[in-house]
């Protein structure tokens, strides 16, 4: 699994630990909007609702959730920006 993370090489990082809905979604939107098409954002969140919230946000906005893992209480998302 560590090899996959190395291959992804995120272009941006966002730590939303300690933030609860809707803050992780709002902050993810702001961060992804500052990135270029095709870049990958690594998002870390500990809000239990973030798993479904980020999946739904990615689908709604047209961005691609490449991978999601859980490490203890943290969710780690890799999101590819799919538009300009």
Which residues are marked as active site?
A: 21
Distance, CA of 72 to CA of 69 (rounded, Å): 10
Residue 76, strand partner residues: 44, 69
Rounded to the nearest 10 degrees, the angle between the axes of helix 50-61 and helix 23-33 is: 40
């Amino acid at each position: 699994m560590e090899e996959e993370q190395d291959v992804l090489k995120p272009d941006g990082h966002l730590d939303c630990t300690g933030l609860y809905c809707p803050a992780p979604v709002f902050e993810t939107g702001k961060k992804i909007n500052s990135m270029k098409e095709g870049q990958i954002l690594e998002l870390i969140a500990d809000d239990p609702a973030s798993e479904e919230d980020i999946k739904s946000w990615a689908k709604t906005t047209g961005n691609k959730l490449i991978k999601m893992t859980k490490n203890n209480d943290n969710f780690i998302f890799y999101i590819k920006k799919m538009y300009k």
